[in-house]
Structure 1
Amino acid sequence: MSEREAPEADMLPGLRAAVDDARAKAAATRRRKAAAWEPAAVDPVARVLVDIALAHLDRPFDYAVPVAMADTAVPGARVKVRFAGQDVDGYLVERASTTDHTGRLQPLRRVVSPEPVLAPEVARLSETLAHRYAGARSDVLRLAVPPRHAAVEKAVLDPSPPLAEPLPTTWGEVEHAAAFLRRLAAGGSPRAVWSAAPGDDWPAMVAEAVAATRAAGRGALVCVPDKRDVDRVDAALRERLGADQHVCLTADDGPAARYRHFLAVSRGARRVVVGTRSAAFAPVHDLGLVVVWDDGDDLHAEPRAPYPHTREVLLTRAEQQGTAALVGGVARTPEAQQLLVSGWAHELVTPRDALRRRVRVEAVPAEDRSVGTRVPRPAYDAIRRGLQDGPVLVQTPRAGYAAALACDTCRTPARCTVCTGPLTIAGPAAPPTCRWCGHADEAWSCPTCGGRGLRAPVRGEARTAEELGRMFPGTTVRSSSGERVLAEVTDQHDLVVATVGAEPVAEGGYATVVVLDTWLTLARDDMRATEEALRRWLNAAALVRRGGHVVAVGDPAHPVLQALVRWDPAGFARRESEERAAAHLPPAARIATLTGDLGALDDALHLIDLPEGGELLGPVPAGEEHRLVVRVPWAHGAALSQALGDLQRMRSARKLDPVRVQVDPLSI
């Protein structure tokens, strides 16, 4: 052996030992990994709702729970699974010991978080809503569970402190309210439709109902239309229950804060929730009361699939979880009236004699132009008298300055000379500008008569404020609309001009409320035009102080204005329900719309199995697409949902062109 070969020979035993050691470590690693992927000893099957919005795959799928994930794969946790060749998100809804799957189960890829964010009752609710609205459970769960923030999950949440001492009741004059509150405090589940009266502090009254529920050791959930309403109920709950007793769930909070509040509810640290429509899914522990305020507001209708309505979400929870329910508002919807007619709920109202003491309402015609504007003399006098006692609210249906223009001579609508779009004026010194293309037409002339004068048949809140400022010199005029919405005003003797939904709350209430241009609100081309008009006027009129004055400018003989003058939302809801029943419209009927191109709708017509009594209306053009309306009697509503769900599953499985299905839309 040469000198060169000798060292290499000496190295062979060490090299072989290193190789053998590496092989042993690799084998041990493989054994550990194999053991880690072995199914768990207890409940080795995980049923997972996969986050895929395909109707024909909308069901739980079984996966194996590896030993390494046996403790963290808890029901309600977020997980990653392998599905159709890719990793997708999902929720583990159940652990089981057996499976119907005949082959080898795929293991869970990983547990994203052991935090159980999907409560069993919310999982069951998502299934019910997906069936009712012919949608997918994954779409419902996107509305129910906010996105995860890992840092927030590490925080320790303190439990709620003891409840504050009870305060005097705020439901004094409401008939049967005392019995309703007693049943709540005793742990019962009463259900009521409540019509608030002028001068009622409705946030304080809601807070008292919540306090009665908490006194029985149960939780409560309150849903309101917008952030301003959330702020009012938030303040009332703090005063009634004390600090750190509830959370607010709104989109304005931001992702991290919203998830923190969600976890406080999910972990049971907070038992009271107030929020907007997505808060209806909050996993409140020991839920005892659900409240929806102003259910006629279109903000309660979810704009994302499957388009559930807050009222229906909460009433479904009340049915499934056996909770009390309170459907409240100044106005009353036909759907709320149907709850009374069916006996599902009882009525809470203020007696007629108490209403007469609280407010005086009158309707005056708009033809009296003696003061030079569209404000007639009786409304002018009411504003003048009201300003002597406190703030005055004037509601106008349009924002801006001059929302529409017409020729001052022949009344022909003013159109843009470039694109024929409607002309508007943004301010007193601004030229006419096209709403479509933005062209400023300073040299406009009427193509019909050649006139150059312009008039504003429809005036916005800014123009109204300008006119009222000239009519009442020395008075502060404040505007509330669009991006400049006032939450509240003081009791100073100011004149407040606001658009619909932007009316600020006055300290102590308004001395006078005036509703302008009622004809414009009634002119909406919509199935719910009259219902919505009365809701808008009542909400504004309810801001008046006790003993105040409300004036509505319009045709005094119109049935909707008559309902306002009598302050009779219940009677109006009864008549509206009867008229809709005669016309086979909701709530006496169930309807659904199918929207898509004509070819897709034609396929749907051939595939759908309509229930008994079903009718097809259309298709008709709807923008760039077409819309088909399906209508069935109310008793066959569940069958309609089933038929539409089957249709969507067939279309999804066959990969046909999409059709958007919306059950119980607000308008058609």
Structure 2
Amino acid sequence: MTTTKRSDRRPADGSPVARVCVDVPLAHLDRPFDYLVPAELDEVAVPGTRVKVRFAGQLVDGWLLSRADDSGHTGRLAYLEKVVSPEPVLAPEVARLARAVADRYAGSLADVLRLAVPPRHARVEKEPRDDQPTPAAPTEAVDPRGWRDYPTGPALLRALTDGRAPRAVWSALPAEDWAARYADAVAATVAGGRGAVVVVPDARDLDRLDAALTNVLGPGRHVTLSAALGPARRYRAFLAARRGEVPVVIGTRAAMFAPVARLGLVAIWDDGDDLHSEPRAPYPHARDVLLTRVQLAEAGALVGGYARTAEGQLLVETGWAREVVADRSTVRARIPAIAPTGDDPQLARDPGAATARLPSLAWTAARDALRQDLPVLVQVPRRGYLPSISCAECRTPARCAHCAGPLALPSAGGTPVCRWCARVAAAYACPQCGGRRLRAAVTGARRTAEELGRAFPGVSVRTSGREEVLTDVPGGAALVVATPGAEPVAEGGYGAVLLLDSWALLTRADLRAGEEALRRWMAAAALARPAPAGRVVVVADGALAPVQALLRWDAGWFAGRELAERRELGFPPAVRMASVTGAAEAVADLLAAARLPNDAEVLGPVPAEEGRERMLVRVPRARAAALAEALHSAAGARAARKAADPVRLQVDPLSLF
């Protein structure tokens, strides 16, 4: 830590003006401020360092963005008070990226920089640096055989090895070792003398990719970045990347701003997963941040998954990226046998089978797999025991008397508990009929495991969900009940995969309900063995578009259909849409102050949480920058006059309803 004295200060001889981003969360202060660099701080006050400055009478944090010979400010400039650390943690390219992301999402640079650079850990900065030379980069061409099932896959690797910037949207086959394919792409980039950043949804995916990269690149060639690492480990990995000690950074969304020298590839796996969306202002999505990096760094891009989002399809249809897909003969050879229960012949004989939670087709598939000593995966959309209950007499949903939240049963002999306020409703009585008996409205994973245990006595039943997520399971006969995203990998693959309660996914009041259902189904079905040993049964009508896409394993067809519908209806990503949420008066105040583009449409209001309301503003994609600038300026004007009620701005939020 370096400080200056208040007396006898004089400015540095060369480039005495420091342009500082002050860490103040006010929209009207979203610009650099000029300060003088004292002579005694000249050597350590370099761009990218953390500093302390006086601002409005307070000592606040800031980022030194650049040095200049003079200032456009006509008044007297204050001096930098302190250089917190001489470590230039903010790379110039990351600073440019942060500014672009702030502009894209109508946010402030200071907010984005808090996401881009982890908090300082002084002890880690002072650790002795490893004098061992960085392992040499592989120079031989990467073996393209892992991509042989995709006609354009080997060309992707060659382009990366040659130092070009290919952009691809990849639809993975079932049972594909996606981590190994990403490792191939990264190795090709490193062989071409450049670096890579790869972002995955969660820790399980990160562990899998970490092992694959270690196998291909060897130890010491990459680091992992994740908020779950803890402050010291995360900062140590960040510094290794910033100092150029490793050419590759992988991680969860915390890695989307990772500083990598000579960036040649950015990649994201399963971009439809909502874990890629940052819950803190200005709420950027990892996919959009990475694609912005592609534009700024002229790097390659790889967007992959079993399913495909409408955003990924837009990249293909506009020609920004090429799709990497297998031909239909390869798809047919690799997929398991997939069937919907709507085609079950028993439906013609027994109409009650249409409403059965485990129709005969699903039960038979599970029984046959278990007889062959193969594991069975059962995907259930809801966790818990009975996450939603209702009156057994009149079917009225059971609600908490204190907050009107939904009641749930934690176990077979448990007492109803509110899922919102956690109050126990031991003496619950239906307000409509006075009944006290309760029935299941929605069945959770633990109740499903209990039911399957009775249906298949003597078979081991395991659950994987929020309380305990399994990474893998052995290959013997067993029932594995998992919530979406928590499905473990089975040794040799599952003999059967049952996709239950499809209505819970398909009937959600969400623009992405069908897309999300297909994404979750394909992720689970990809864990099954190829046909004829592997079977997938989806409890849904086979005429539904998401079910059709699953049956054919054609994510591109469904994504194209979704994108066409959104173009017709005027929803993202065909247009740019912003959400303005807050008290009714505050929302109206901000929109009145915003100089919206002439072709902007204001939709709403619709009710939001806690008595607030939401307005939506829609513009063509060509007017996206103008919309973000108008909303950010209006938020700045409200902040300048110290408006009391806050307003939340979100550009292209995942949920519009």
Aligned 1:172-321 pairs, distance under 5 A: 172-321=148-297
CA 1:449–1:143 in 2, change beyond 3 Å: closer, same or farther?
A: closer
| Secondary structure in 1 matching 2:616 | strand
Q: Does 1:660 align with 2:644?
A: no
User: Which amino acid counterpart does residue 648 of structure 1 have in structure 2?
Assistant: A
Q: Does 1:385 align with 2:373?
A: no
Q: Does 1:144 align with 2:116?
A: yes
Q: Does 1:610 align with 2:596?
A: yes
Query: Paired residue for 2:529?
Result: 545
Equivalences, count = 637
Q: Does 1:106 align with 2:78?
A: yes
Structure 2 unaligned segments of length 5 or more: list them.
none
CA 1:47–1:362 in 2, change beyond 3 Å: closer, same or farther?
A: same
CA 1:421–1:627 in 2, change beyond 3 Å: closer, same or farther?
A: closer
**How big is the shift at 1:43?**
1.5
Query: Paired residue for 1:15?
Result: none
Aligned 1:57-96 pairs, distance under 5 A: 57-96=29-68
**How big is the shift at 1:104?**
3.1
Query: Paired residue for 2:332?
Result: 356
Q: Is the Cα contact below 8 Å between 1:47 and 1:96 reproduced in 2?
A: yes
| Secondary structure in 2 matching 1:354 | helix
Q: Does 1:601 align with 2:587?
A: yes
Query: Paired residue for 1:491?
Result: 475
Aligned 1:426-441 pairs, distance under 5 A: 426-435=410-419
| Secondary structure in 2 matching 1:290 | strand
Query: Paired residue for 2:358?
Result: 375
Q: Is the Cα contact below 8 Å between 2:144 and 2:157 reproduced in 1?
A: no
User: Which amino acid counterpart does residue 377 of structure 1 have in structure 2?
Assistant: S
**How big is the shift at 1:351?**
1.3
CA 1:455–1:97 in 2, change beyond 3 Å: closer, same or farther?
A: same
**How big is the shift at 1:440?**
5.5
**How big is the shift at 1:656?**
2.3
TM superposition score normalised by structure 1: 0.91
User: Which amino acid counterpart does residue 664 of structure 1 have in structure 2?
Assistant: D
**How big is the shift at 1:255?**
0.5
| Secondary structure in 2 matching 1:73 | coil
Query: Paired residue for 1:327?
Result: 303
- Higher mean displacement: 640-649 or 568-577: 640-649
Q: Is the Cα contact below 8 Å between 2:521 and 2:550 reproduced in 1?
A: yes
Q: Is the Cα contact below 8 Å between 1:612 and 1:636 reproduced in 2?
A: no
Write the distance in 1 (CA, Å) between the matches of 2:655 and 2:421. Answer: 29
Write the distance in 2 (CA, Å) between the matches of 1:98 and 1:505. Answer: 61
Residue-by-residue CA offset, 1:23-55 (whole Å, 9 max, x unaligned): xxxxxxxxx9866x2111221111111111222
Q: Is the Cα contact below 8 Å between 1:132 and 1:638 reproduced in 2?
A: yes
Structure 1 unaligned segments of length 5 or more: list them.
1-31
Q: Is the Cα contact below 8 Å between 1:396 and 1:517 reproduced in 2?
A: yes
Which of these two proteins has the greater Rg computed from alpha carbons?
Answer: 1
**How big is the shift at 1:188?**
0.7
TM superposition score normalised by structure 2: 0.93
**How big is the shift at 1:407?**
4.1
Query: Paired residue for 1:115?
Result: 87
Write the distance in 2 (CA, Å) between the matches of 1:115 and 1:397. Answer: 47
Among 161, 182, 188, the alignment partner of 2:135 is 161
Query: Paired residue for 1:457?
Result: 441
Between the aligned residues of both structures, percent identity stands at 56
Write the distance in 2 (CA, Å) between the matches of 1:105 and 1:438. Answer: 55
Query: Paired residue for 2:466?
Result: 482
| Secondary structure in 2 matching 1:62 | strand
Query: Paired residue for 1:28?
Result: none
Write the distance in 1 (CA, Å) between the matches of 2:237 and 2:176. Answer: 30
Q: Is the Cα contact below 8 Å between 1:331 and 1:534 reproduced in 2?
A: yes
Q: Is the Cα contact below 8 Å between 1:207 and 1:237 reproduced in 2?
A: yes
**How big is the shift at 1:436?**
5.2
Query: Paired residue for 1:573?
Result: 559
- Higher mean displacement: 454-463 or 170-179: 454-463
CA 1:147–1:445 in 2, change beyond 3 Å: closer, same or farther?
A: closer
Among 26, 40, 53, the alignment partner of 1:54 is 26
CA 1:283–1:618 in 2, change beyond 3 Å: closer, same or farther?
A: same
Among 517, 523, 534, the alignment partner of 2:518 is 534
Alpha-carbon RMSD: 2.3
Query: Paired residue for 2:636?
Result: 649
CA 1:338–1:421 in 2, change beyond 3 Å: closer, same or farther?
A: closer
- Higher mean displacement: 232-241 or 165-174: 165-174
Query: Paired residue for 1:586?
Result: 572
- Higher mean displacement: 358-367 or 621-630: 358-367
Write the distance in 2 (CA, Å) between the matches of 1:495 and 1:79. Answer: 57
Write the distance in 2 (CA, Å) between the matches of 1:549 and 1:74. Answer: 61
Q: Is the Cα contact below 8 Å between 2:373 and 2:476 reproduced in 1?
A: no
CA 1:496–1:527 in 2, change beyond 3 Å: closer, same or farther?
A: same
Residue-by-residue CA offset, 1:545-575 (whole Å, 9 max, x unaligned): 2332211011222222111111111011111
Residue-by-residue CA offset, 1:109-131 (whole Å, 9 max, x unaligned): 11111101000001111111111
